[in-house]
Amino acid sequence: MITLGHYLVVSGMLFSLGLAGVIARRNIIIVYMCLEMMLSAANLALVGFSRFHLVNGLPDYTAQSLVFFTITVAAAEVAVGLAIIVALFRSKQSVDVESVTKLQG
């Protein structure tokens, strides 16, 4: 039997992996992919909670509606984000995180 706990553990692992990737990777594209993974982890948790939260014997769908919004927002973020990353590549010929360290102190 797969319980809520299983979903949450997977979601948590996914979130942690994403976070670790964001922190550890130097390529901005990959960092961005890790960020998407974190959003997916959140979505998984939402769906899981929603599935096991029964209202009148049926799963509660408000949380699932948020998942759709999240996916949409993620898409928008990717659109804008990739544009910015492309602009960065154009000007620096690099997508390494270390190429943006001018602002500091």
Check binding of 98 to other proteins (CB under 8 A). yes
Vertex 63: Cα angle to 9 and 19 (nearest 5): 40
Binding mask 37-76 for other proteins (x = CB under 8 A): -xx-xxx-xx-xxx--x-x----x-xx-xx--xx--x--x
Rounded least distance, CB 57 to other proteins, Å: 14
Q: Given candidates 17, 84, 93, 94, which one binds other proteins under the rule CB under 8 A? A: 84
3-state secondary structure of 26: coil
> Closer CB to other proteins, residue 1 or residue 95?
95
Rounded least distance, CB 1 to other proteins, Å: 19
- Give the residue carrying structure tokens 């620096």: 92
Read off the amino acid at residue 49: F
> Closer CB to other proteins, residue 9 or residue 97?
97
| Kind and range of the H or E run holding 60 | none
Alpha-carbon dihedral sign for residues 63, 65, 67, 69: negative
